[in-house]
Structure formats: structure tokens, C-alpha cells
Structure 1
Amino acid sequence: MEITFELGYALDTFYFLICGVLVMWMAAGFTMLEAGLVRAKNTTEILTKNVALYAIASIMYMVCGYSIMYGGSDFVFFLDGITADGATGVAEDAATYAPAADFFFQVVFVATAMSIVSGAVAERMKLWSFLIFAVFLTAFIYPMEGSWTWGGEAVFGLYTLGDFGFSDFAGSGIVHMAGASAALAGVIVLGARKGKYGPDGKVNAIPGANLPMAALGTFILWMGWFGFNGGSVLATATVESANSVAVVFMNTNMAAAGGLVAALLLARALFGKADLTMALNGALAGLVAITAEPSTPTPLVAAVIGACGGLIVVGSILALDKFKIDDPVGAISVHGVVGLFGLLVVPLTNPAAKFGGQILGAATIFIWVFVTSLIVWMAIKAVMGVRVTDEEEFEGVDMSECGLEAYPDFTISR
């Protein structure tokens, strides 16, 4: 069956844009998940951070991030070159979708990486310190590691990851582990919330204020992930690409299901109760685990990969608490530890990927993002501080940072 280039171009562009919209919808998922897992007195700041970081990511990736990641210096003015039919010098053997669609799809990935940082540093970070860091991550830190991976550039001119068999289909490492690496650096500089860890090493649970909202956020993320992974096929206008999209959707769903069930069962075995927060993180862990390669496993293997991610995330959350790394939403475990796992299992189903290349790629991403983020966090701390005062943390950062509360009718007068 043949289709004209113009029709294929239109279909692939439309599909790319719709998948980008689904990924953009993940921003709402992160917002709801984080808002549900923090205390009521810190909800408004979480909401503010998430809507603001999306806007900052869009602007900074337009200004310089996209050009750093994929080359070229005139992207800000690329619309000037678009011809009447919407193509910018696109030949039939070149790109199969509009350049603007590619930018839109890529920018929502950048925002996803920054959203991961938001939850990990919640309840004690200054709003403006966070937003300044967002500028650096979305304008430079993420685009640089993206240029070495998806951009195909040599790492500081030394080696090309693709030559070593590195493969990351939709971003278990490039997006998720990168965001978690930046979050880990921020948490180390920031320190734990007051009262989280006792002097005797006891870990004190700090429950979230709105678990229905957290569950809604997880379902939104689950839905958005079909665009995240499915859009990374990059096309749907041929029989081959349409079949590939269907397989990716199927495996994405199975991995999430496997992750949730495995985490729920492990939590029941460990705590004697069905822990909702662990179940939610299990679903997300399954999604992160399959993101590195959702196109080659069978649905059963995808479910097993997701289940392994669900088991890993429960153990990782408990382990990080032992090291007093305070992550209110489990973002470092879900996106970082499981993101690494996702990279390492790619060669099991994709023979083109090599274990050595996966390890080298993971190390490159982690070292670059963690070290540069740590430098930026420390610089921000030296200039304006990163943490609110003890009194502001006790009262809640909503009032001190945003001047209003998310649930004023349910707040007890102080």
C-alpha cells in the first residue's frame, strides 16, 4: 500500500502533535501527584512550581536548549523559513513531520525532566531558587546530555554513545534518570524536612494531604505516557509504523500494570497493609522501566519488566530513607533508580543495544547532570539560599512563598 508524501507528512505531523499534547498533559499529572503527597500547607507552592516550570522550560528550550541539543543557531527565527505549504526545506527522504512539531514534542520532554525535581525538593525549598534552577536545567544541563544521546554528538569530543551500542527509546535515562539526578543533587544541598528523621535513626512518616488527588495524578501520568512512549516511534502513517505504535502502547500499559501489582504485593508483605502510595509509585516505576525500550518486548516480558520496577522502587524508597535522603514523593527512586534499571534491561530484548553501552550512557548522564546540578544548587544557595526558615517550614511555605493557602476553609487558625 502506497501513500503520498504529503499525506504521510500530514498524518505523522498530526500524530506527533497529539502525542506531544499527551505528554504535556503529564504536567498536570505530576502537579496532582505532588500536590496530593505533600501536606496541605505546602500545596499552593507545589502548584505554582509546576505551572511555572512548564512555562520556563518552553521559553528556555526555545531560546537555546533546542539548538544545543540538535544543532543550529537560528531556531528562534525558524518560522521565517517556513514555506506556504508548511515545510521548511523538507525533502521526501528527510524529516517526515514539521520542524515545529518536533520542537513541541521535545519541549514537553524537557518539562517532564524538570517536573521530577519539583516533588523531590517539596515542602522546604524557596520558590524562586527552584525556578532559577529550572532555567539552568532546561536551557543547558538537559540539552547538553540530550545532544550526546538523542542528538548523536560526541561527549566532549571524546566518544559517541551510539558507537558503544547505547539505546534509550523514549528516555528512561535521558529524561527520567536525568531529572532524578538533578533532584538528588538538590536534596543533598537542601537537607531533609524537619521531623522526618529522629535522632535515633527512626524514619517518621509524613502523610500527604490528598490521596485522591495523588491517585488522579497517577492515572493522568499513565495516560500521558502513551504519548511519551508512543510518540517516540516518530511516525504512524505506514503499516509498519502503525503496528509499532500499537505494540508500544500495549507494552507501556502492561508494564504499568505489572509495576503496580508487584509494588502492592510487596508492600502488603512488608507492612501488612495495602499501601496506596507504594502502589502508585509502582505503576510509575513500571512506566519508567519500560520507557527505555517498549517496542521489542512481548507483553508478558513488558509486564515482568514493569513488575521488577515496582519491586525495585519499594526497596529504593526504604533504602533512601535509611540514608536520610528525604524525597516526599519518591521521585528519585521512581525516575532515577528505576530509570537506571530500565536502561540496563534494554539488551535483553533489543540485540542492537549493548550492556557496556548502556552502562556508559547511564554513567555519562548521571555524572554530567548530577555534577552540574550540584554546582548550580550550591551557587544558588550561596547567593540567595535554597531553604525557607524553620518557622516558614513549620507554618507552611504556601503563605511565605505564595501568600495564599490551597484549602483556606479547612485551615485551623494559628
Structure 2
Amino acid sequence: MKVSSTKHNLLSAVRQLPREKWALGATILTGKMIGLLLVLVAMISLPGIFGTSAHAADTYTAHETALINTVNTVWTLVAAFLVFGMQAGFVMLEAGFARKRETVNVLMECIFDTCLCGLLFYAIGYAFMFGNGNGFIGWGGLGADGKTITNWFFLQNTPATYGATGIPLLAHWIFQYAFADTCSTIVSGAMIGRTSFRGDILYSIGITGFIYPIIGHWAWGPDGFLATMGATGGFLPTLGQPFRDFAGSTVVHTIGGVASLAGAMVLGPRLGRIFARDDKEKGGLPAGHNLLVAAVGGFILWFGWYGFNPGSTLSAMDMQGIGRVAANTTLAACAGGFAAMLAALWWGPTKGKFDLAFTINGFLGGLVAITCPCYWVSPLGAILLGAVAGFVIFAGVYIIEWFRIDDPVGAVSVHGLCGIWGTLSLGLFASGQFGSTGPTGADNSAPVTGLFYGGGFGVLKAQAIGSFAITASVFIITFVMMYIINKLPNPWKLRIEEHGEAGLGGIDVFDHGIEVYPAQEEEISLSGLFDKGVKSTSEV
């Protein structure tokens, strides 16, 4: 290796890895680890003090129940913080897969969506989603007479705790805000590079304030028509099965992925985007400008998923459930990444090569797929459905490409298609062995049995009905909303003005007045550093 090359590499490393940032990152990571350790110690010790989680709630004293609720609250909040940390992963993943001239816009949209989501989910979103109302929309809580509903807007008139969990309602709000923020961020993935920032403001209000919480109410609301499906007096009472979505394959990921599909279709492709069906030599899937950033973002998302799925138990006492969910989450991700890597190796654009982008999206697809059935399937089932998700990713990317839909990060395939697959897979792989009888936490007490374990088609039918209802509704409503926004005059039109997208610096300079990589300072000579004893590789 030449000395000049060594100097250049060393200079790049010095510039990119300042000690202060590494120290700060280590401090933050240490703090998170201490917090997680404290929660884990409590989770291990409490069952030993109070017995197993199989005891009924009335066997605990008031003091014991209060202590259990405290630990469950801490567990839920730690999970919420992990899920919120996924925003860093989304920012890096989307920025890495985007073109350089689109990066500031990606960062700004993700940060803005996080701020907007918090305000809207506080003002109206939580009431729409988790309040009582009717089968289609919630707005508040039942009064003392059991009939009158008082509104929960701005979290007013809310009870002290969420349902029968014993968890403070505000703690549950934080947890669900992180979920809502995840859905909001997913939407922008397929719309990178040609969405005006003002257009992003408008559609984000629609997604975060109305579409996500109202449609989410159908599956997660106390009286949502999908949540009560199959029950006496509910929707399709003869079906005998409700729609189930443990942690959000449909409610979070399918809603986000399908909404991003609608937006990408309204926008059309980015300028200069060439599809393989139009030009086999020049067309095809464009590479992101920084796959290192994308890969790190993917791993941050994987880490955050350990709050997403295990945290949805809402109970630190459900030790078996938490362990199973965490293991299933891990195995599905591993299988998805491995399967997508093999698919790209055998049939991908660089046949015979190991494709990094497909591998990243493969393990993300496995994570999305396992999010719905993670509580009710066995580890083997998690591996199988995760592997299928990896192939779904690969096929989905090329289907989207064939239809000339420009999806820079693969959001439609990862979140939309794998969300649908994961939801349906519950009706196939649910083993019928797992259920929780803990005194607090989410209501997961009824075991679920899928088709492959002798449960018949009942669960699969319920999952298919729920998935179709949500997918179709989200697509139609979002497409109409995006179409209307795109008909507004500039600068509020959904698609950025052509000269802004095509101009020097692209959308970053046009909408934000800055580039993510400004002109580098004049390179400092390292000759003195080498003169003082740093040897070149040729001297070692």
C-alpha cells in the first residue's frame, strides 16, 4: 500500500470518528444497559418472591399487586424507549438507501414526523385509537352509567391506568406513541427524493392524526369491529375468531407500507430513475449512496424490535412469553436475512454475488412478519415464516419495480407485503400451546391454533378478513388524500417542483438550503504526523 493512500485513510478515519462522539455514544449505551439490567433483575426476582405468573390476580395482596404494577410499568417504559430509538435506525436506513442529494430531506422528514406525531397522538390520536366509541372509531371512556362516553382528547377525562393492566395510562400513551411514530416514518420511505416538505407536512397530519389511529382502532380498540369479530353481537359472530395482531404486523407495518405505496404511485418515479423493463442495461434497482449507514440503521432497528415485540406483553411477570417472543423475533430476523441473501445470490441483479441491500431488507422483513404471531408460534414456526418473508422481500421488490413504482428503500415490500404475510402466517403456524394467565399485562390468555397444527381454517379466515379490510381501506383513503394534496398549487403540492428536484443540490438545497455533505475543508497534511514516528504500511 502506498504511503499517500495510508495518509488519506487515516485522515478519513480521524475526521469521521471524533473521540467525543464515541465517548458520548458509549455513555448513552452504558446508561441504557444499566436500565435494562435493573428491569431484568426485577423480572427475575419478582416471580420468585410472589410465585409464578400462573396465579390468579386475587391471590396477590394489594402491596404485591402494586409492586408488580410498578415493575410492569418500568418494563413497558423501557420497551417504549427502545421502540422510540428505532427512529435513529429509520433515519440511517432511509438516508443510506437514498441518493446523496436527497439525504437532508430524509433527515428532516423523519425528525419532523416524530415531533408532529407526538402532538397529534396526544391531542386526538390516542382517543381515536384506544377510546370507546363504536366499531370504527373511538373517542373516550365510558361514564359511571356504562353508556355515556366522555372524550379523551388531549388525554382529558382518562382513567389513571390503561384497562386492567395496572399500567399508568400515560405510560401506555408513551409506548403507543412510539408505535404511531414508527408507522408515520415508514410512509416516507417509498416517497424519498420527490416529496416537497410542505406536502410531507400535510400528508403526515392525515396519516398520524386520522388514518393510523382510526383504522388501528378497528384491531386494537376496546370495541373495534375486528377486535370483537366472531363474538356474540360482534362482526361475523359465526366465525368464532377475532382478528389478532400481537405487536403490529398489520396495525403498524401494513398501514405504513400500504400508505407509502399509495404515495409513491401518486408521485411517480424520481427524475432520472430508469426501470429494468425499459432499459435492461441502464435500468434496475439503484444502489443507495451509503450502504454503511443503511446497514447500521438496520441493526439499530433490529435492536429496537426487542422493545417492539417483547414489550407488547405489557407485563414483566410473563417470563415465558417475553422469552419466547424475544427468541422468535431473533430467529425470524435471522431466517429472513439468510433467505433474502440466498435469493439475491441465485436470482438477483448481481447473480453469484452476496447482496448487502437485500440482506438488510431480508432481516427487516423477517422482523415485520414475526411481529403479529410472535406470541403464539414456536421457534421453528418463527424460522419458517421468517424465511418465507425473505423470499417475499426479494419477489416484492421486483414486482414493485416491474410496475414502475419507485421505492428507494423497499418500504412496500418490507412493511406492506411482509406485514400481510406475517398476519396470515398466524393462521398457519400458531401452535395452540402458548397463552398467558398472568394477573396483569396484555390479554393474551387464549391459546391460538393454526391450520398446520390442526386448528382448521378459522384463525386463517379471521386474519385474512382483517388484513384485507385494513389494507384496502388504507390504500383507498391514502391514495385519495395523496392525490388531492398533489393537486394543490406549489409550494404545497405533494411533488416538489421539477426545477427543485433537478437543480444543483436537488431537493436538499431547494427545500432546506443545505447539503448533507458540504464542501470539505482543505485537507490537512499528515506529513508531520508520519515524520514523528507513525510508520507507513510499507515500513511495517
Q: TM-score with structure 2 length normalisation?
A: 0.71
Q: Which residue of 1 aligns with 2:517?
A: 407
3-state SS of 2:247 partner: coil
1:225 aligns with 2:305: yes
Q: Is the 8 A contact 1:161 1:361 kept in 2?
A: no
In 2, Cα distance between equivalents of 1:282 and 1:297: 20
Given the superposition, is the C-alpha separation of residues 200 and 349 from structure 1 closer, same or farther in structure 2, using an over 3 Å criterion? closer
What is the alpha-carbon root mean square deviation over aligned residues?
A: 2.2
Q: Provide Cα deviations, 1:59-79, integer angstroms capped at 9, x if missing partner.
A: 11111011011111135254x
Structure 2 residues without counterparts, runs of 5 or longer: 1-49, 52-59, 132-139, 141-150, 433-447, 451-458, 522-540
Q: Which residue of 1 aligns with 2:284?
A: 204
Q: Which residue of 2 aligns with 1:261?
A: 338
What's the CA shift for 1:154? 4.3
Q: Which residue of 2 aligns with 1:359?
A: 464
3-state SS of 1:68 partner: helix
Q: Provide Cα deviations, 1:310-332, integer angstroms capped at 9, x if missing partner.
A: 11101110111011111000000
More displaced 10-residue stretch of structure 1: 292-301 or 364-373? 292-301
Query: Residues 1-400 of structure 1: matches in 2 within 5 Å?
Result: 1-2=50-51, 4-71=64-131, 72=140, 73-78=151-156, 88-90=159-161, 94-155=164-225, 160=235, 164-197=241-274, 201-202=278-279, 203-236=283-316, 238=317, 241-270=318-347, 271-350=351-430, 351=432, 352=448, 354-383=459-488, 384-395=492-503, 396-400=506-510
Given the superposition, is the C-alpha separation of residues 128 and 255 from structure 1 closer, same or farther in structure 2, using an over 3 Å criterion? same
Given the superposition, is the C-alpha separation of residues 173 and 74 from structure 1 closer, same or farther in structure 2, using an over 3 Å criterion? closer
In 2, Cα distance between equivalents of 1:90 and 1:290: 29
3-state SS of 1:345 partner: helix
In 2, Cα distance between equivalents of 1:316 and 1:260: 15
Q: Which residue of 1 aligns with 2:16?
A: none
In 1, Cα distance between equivalents of 2:383 and 2:276: 41
Given the superposition, is the C-alpha separation of residues 77 and 312 from structure 1 closer, same or farther in structure 2, using an over 3 Å criterion? closer
Q: Is the 8 A contact 2:165 2:314 kept in 1?
A: no
Q: Is the 8 A contact 2:428 2:460 kept in 1?
A: no
In 2, Cα distance between equivalents of 1:161 and 1:301: 29
3-state SS of 2:257 partner: helix
In 2, Cα distance between equivalents of 1:90 and 1:50: 31
More displaced 10-residue stretch of structure 1: 46-55 or 351-360? 351-360
What's the CA shift for 1:130? 1.1
Q: Is the 8 A contact 1:169 1:292 kept in 2?
A: yes
More helix by share: 1
What's the CA shift for 1:129? 0.4
In 1, Cα distance between equivalents of 2:103 and 2:160: 47
3-state SS of 1:385 partner: coil
In 2, Cα distance between equivalents of 1:112 and 1:259: 20
3-state SS of 2:164 partner: coil
In 1, Cα distance between equivalents of 2:213 and 2:416: 18
- Relative contact order (C-alpha < 8 Å, sep 6+): which is higher? 1
Identity of aligned residues (%): 35
- The amino acid of 1:338's aligned partner reads C
- The amino acid of 2:262's aligned partner reads A
What's the CA shift for 1:161? 7.8
Given the superposition, is the C-alpha separation of residues 337 and 227 from structure 1 closer, same or farther in structure 2, using an over 3 Å criterion? same
Q: Is the 8 A contact 1:161 1:360 kept in 2?
A: no
What's the CA shift for 1:89? 4.7
In 2, Cα distance between equivalents of 1:65 and 1:206: 37
In 1, Cα distance between equivalents of 2:497 and 2:465: 40
3-state SS of 2:309 partner: helix
What's the CA shift for 1:374? 1.2
State how many pairs are aligned: 400
What's the CA shift for 1:370? 1.1
Q: TM-score with structure 1 length normalisation?
A: 0.92
Given the superposition, is the C-alpha separation of residues 199 and 303 from structure 1 closer, same or farther in structure 2, using an over 3 Å criterion? closer
In 2, Cα distance between equivalents of 1:252 and 1:198: 34
3-state SS of 1:409 partner: coil
Give the greater-gyration-radius structure (CA): 2
More displaced 10-residue stretch of structure 1: 251-260 or 193-202? 193-202
Given the superposition, is the C-alpha separation of residues 6 and 327 from structure 1 closer, same or farther in structure 2, using an over 3 Å criterion? same
Q: Provide Cα deviations, 1:180-234, integer angstroms capped at 9, x if missing partner.
A: 1111110111001122235962333322111110000000000000100011111
3-state SS of 2:209 partner: helix
Given the superposition, is the C-alpha separation of residues 279 and 14 from structure 1 closer, same or farther in structure 2, using an over 3 Å criterion? same
Q: Which residue of 1 aligns with 2:10?
A: none
Given the superposition, is the C-alpha separation of residues 46 and 161 from structure 1 closer, same or farther in structure 2, using an over 3 Å criterion? farther
Q: Is the 8 A contact 1:165 1:356 kept in 2?
A: no
More displaced 10-residue stretch of structure 1: 191-200 or 46-55? 191-200
In 2, Cα distance between equivalents of 1:10 and 1:230: 17
In 1, Cα distance between equivalents of 2:339 and 2:104: 33
3-state SS of 2:404 partner: coil
Given the superposition, is the C-alpha separation of residues 120 and 89 from structure 1 closer, same or farther in structure 2, using an over 3 Å criterion? closer
Given the superposition, is the C-alpha separation of residues 165 and 200 from structure 1 closer, same or farther in structure 2, using an over 3 Å criterion? closer
In 2, Cα distance between equivalents of 1:110 and 1:274: 34
Structure 1 residues without counterparts, runs of 5 or longer: 82-87
In 2, Cα distance between equivalents of 1:385 and 1:328: 21
Given the superposition, is the C-alpha separation of residues 20 and 154 from structure 1 closer, same or farther in structure 2, using an over 3 Å criterion? closer
Q: Is the 8 A contact 2:127 2:155 kept in 1?
A: no
